[in-house]
């Protein structure tokens, strides 16, 4: 099976820093058609989200279920199924001691993608990571996926490096899906 790994904030949903109010979550423009296109090509859909707000004490881990339920609900209304929601609650500079440490899941580390692949039998080389910053790209590349950067202004540092080059770049999620759909299968 192949997958699309989606960053959450700024990629799948409109950016709301540290906001954990599920009712305010909105899918980005064009998310429905984009993900229906990819789903129709047999890609499974996963969210892989850094949620350092937990480590910073902005909200608790108990906010994650309502958030993923809301996402599943919004996607269901678009005739879409979310196959998994993975999040990293950690941050090395956090203030909540349980979560204030380095980890292997926080992007740019690939841990969430590797775990999803293991749990859902995903072929990473046939899969894509879509995100709006280069940390997403690096996580996808390190996991062995192809990567697509949505260049929507959220990446501001442009710290480049050999693992931080995306396979493709698109202005938004809809164009990202069109590029992936036209990219063909790996040989």
* Catalytic center residues: 7, 9
What sign does the CA torsion over 80, 50, 53, 158 have?
negative
Of residues 3, 5, 9, 52, which one binds Mg ion by CB under 5 A?
A: 9
Q: Which is nearer to Mg ion, 171 or 186 (CB)?
A: 171
With CB under 5 to 8 Å by kind, the binding choice for 9 among Zn ion, Mg ion, none is Mg ion
Q: Do 87 and 55 contact (CB within 8 A), yes or no?
A: no
Least CB distance from residue 49 to Mg ion, whole Å?
8
Alpha carbon distance 100, 79 (integer Å): 38
Of residues 132, 137, 145, 148, which one binds Mg ion by CB under 5 A?
A: 132
Binding residues: 7, 9, 88, 90, 103, 105, 132
* Integer CA distances (angstroms), 24 to 70, 153, 174, in order: 9, 22, 22
* Interaction residues for Zn ion, span 69-98 (CB under 5 A): 88, 90
Q: Do 171 and 29 contact (CB within 8 A), yes or no?
A: no
Question: Which residue do the tokens 């940390």 mark?
Answer: 135
With CB under 5 to 8 Å by kind, the binding choice for 164 among Zn ion, Mg ion, none is none
Regarding 106 and contact with Zn ion (CB under 5 A), the answer is yes
Of residues 3, 7, 134, 177, which one binds Mg ion by CB under 5 A?
A: 7
For residue 165 the two structure tokens come to 């080059």
Alpha carbon distance 1, 117 (integer Å): 9
Radius of gyration of the chain (CA): 15
Of residues 4, 5, 10, 51, which one binds Mg ion by CB under 5 A?
A: 10
With CB under 5 to 8 Å by kind, the binding choice for 106 among Mg ion, Zn ion, none is Zn ion
Residues that bind Mg ion in the complex, under the rule CB under 5 A? 7, 9-10, 132
């Amino acid at each position: 099976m192949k997958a699309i790994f989606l960053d959450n904030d700024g990629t799948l949903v409109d950016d709301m820093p540290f906001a954990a109010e599920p009712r305010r979550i909105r899918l980005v423009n064009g998310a429905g058609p984009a993900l229906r296109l990819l789903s129709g090509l047999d890609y499974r859909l996963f969210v892989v989200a850094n949620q350092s707000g937990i480590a910073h004490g902005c909200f608790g881990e108990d906010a994650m279920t309502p958030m993923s339920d809301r996402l599943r609900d919004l996607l269901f209304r678009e005739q879409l199924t979310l196959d998994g929601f993975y999040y990293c609650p950690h941050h090395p500079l956090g203030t909540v001691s349980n979560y204030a440490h380095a980890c292997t899941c926080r992007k740019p580390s690939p841990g969430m993608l590797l775990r999803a692949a293991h749990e859902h039998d995903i072929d990473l080389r046939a899969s894509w990571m879509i995100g709006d910053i280069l940390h997403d790209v690096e996580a996808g590349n390190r996991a062995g996926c192809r990567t697509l950067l949505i260049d929507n202004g959220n990446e501001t540092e442009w710290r480049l490096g050999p693992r931080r080059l995306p396979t493709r770049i698109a202005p938004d999620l809809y164009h990202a899906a069109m590029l992936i759909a036209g990219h063909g299968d790996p040989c």
